[in-house]
Amino acid sequence: MTTNEQPVGELHNPVMLRRSLDLLAPALALPGATVVDCTLGMGGHSEALLHTFPSAHLIALDRDPDALRLAGERLKPYGDRATLVHAVYDELPEVLARLEVPRVQGVLFDLGVSSLQLDEAGRGFAYAQDAPLDMRMDQTTGISAAEVLNTYAPGELVRILRTYGEEKQAKRIVEAVVREREKEPFRNSARLVELIRDALPQAAKRTGGNPAKRTFQALRIEVNGELAVLERALPAAVDALAVGGRIAVLSYHSLEDRLVKQVFAAGSHNTAPPGLPVVPEQYQPRLKLLTRGAELPTEEEIAENRRAAPARLRAAKRIREATT
């Protein structure tokens, strides 16, 4: 069944939903609380937030106009309790300023590619089906994955595959890409998948699932600037939290999770110079960690929703205002 045939409410099975709600609950149960869903997607988490916390107001961001349209239909019953904004999540400070919301009580990130983007064949995110090599989360702007493959210098392509895809065979894959693009530019995903299969040694094909997975991840991250956006967005989200406010982040690969871990760790430690007998207020931690390391989905959830398998959930609470 294509996404056009499915009821909107069935389009997205939110990952680690109950645990995310539980972590945010103490802050969102307050009257007049505002929660930001920085990654609206199909609206599954947003709908659950509005339903679970009936006095809360939701601000939801997404860069994908299709997601905003479909999730808007899903959230219509909640009326003006939901404000949907076409924006990338590193634009959170500007969005809150425009809406005249100085502080929020909750922030949720569900990172990576959305179910809508994976399931729509024409978007080119999925290596399992042939489609134009697009991979833009917002198809109204930016360069496509095909343009990256066809125009980037070989050394830059190697860097992207190694850094964003953690692909050990990056040089071998890029050499094949450069040979092939000279014959004919890349346009569709099936040709790239076939090239990767042919380029990899047998041993590399036997581990880690589909051999194209890491290359597609790397291209998607490059096309959408995902790690650079996240690097800006996480500190901005922490800054937006009121004291007592909570942030929960679901990530799906080690690069995202590492950034979340670093931001939360930095906020949860004091920044005083070593040797001070008493730590002054301005050096005290701003955050308290709410998860021990990254929490994982249960086996039951993975059985019900295979896309939950790589998920890692971290959460923190704002415990102090920033001081200068």
Binding-site residues for S-adenosyl-L-methionine, in ranges, read 43-45, 62, 89, 110, 117
Which of 309, 204, 314 lies closest to 250, judged by CA? 314
| Buried-exposed string 172-182: b where 16+ CB fall within 10 A, e elsewhere | bbbebbeebbe
Distance CA(143)–CA(137), nearest Å, equals: 11
Q: Please check whether residue 33 is in contact with residue 57, taking contact to mean a CB–CB distance below 8 angstroms.
A: yes
Known binding site: residues? 43-45, 62, 89, 110, 117
User: φ, ψ for residue 289 (rounded to 5)?
Assistant: -70, 135
Bridge partners, 288 (sequence order): 317
Which amino acid is located at 122 in the chain? G
Bridge partners, 84 (sequence order): 60
Residue 79 CB contacts under 8 Å (≥ 6 apart), including other chains: none
Which of 92, 87, 9, 101 lies closest to 47, judged by CA? 9
Distance CA(136)–CA(145), nearest Å, equals: 8
Q: In what order do the strands lie in the sheet with 287-289?
A: 82-86, 57-62, 34-37, 104-110, 241-251, 312-318, 287-289
Distance CA(246)–CA(111), nearest Å, equals: 17
Helix (H, G, I), strand (E, B) or coil at 286: coil
Residue 278 CB contacts under 8 Å (≥ 6 apart), including other chains: none
Token match 């995903």: residue? 189
Distance CA(294)–CA(128), nearest Å, equals: 29
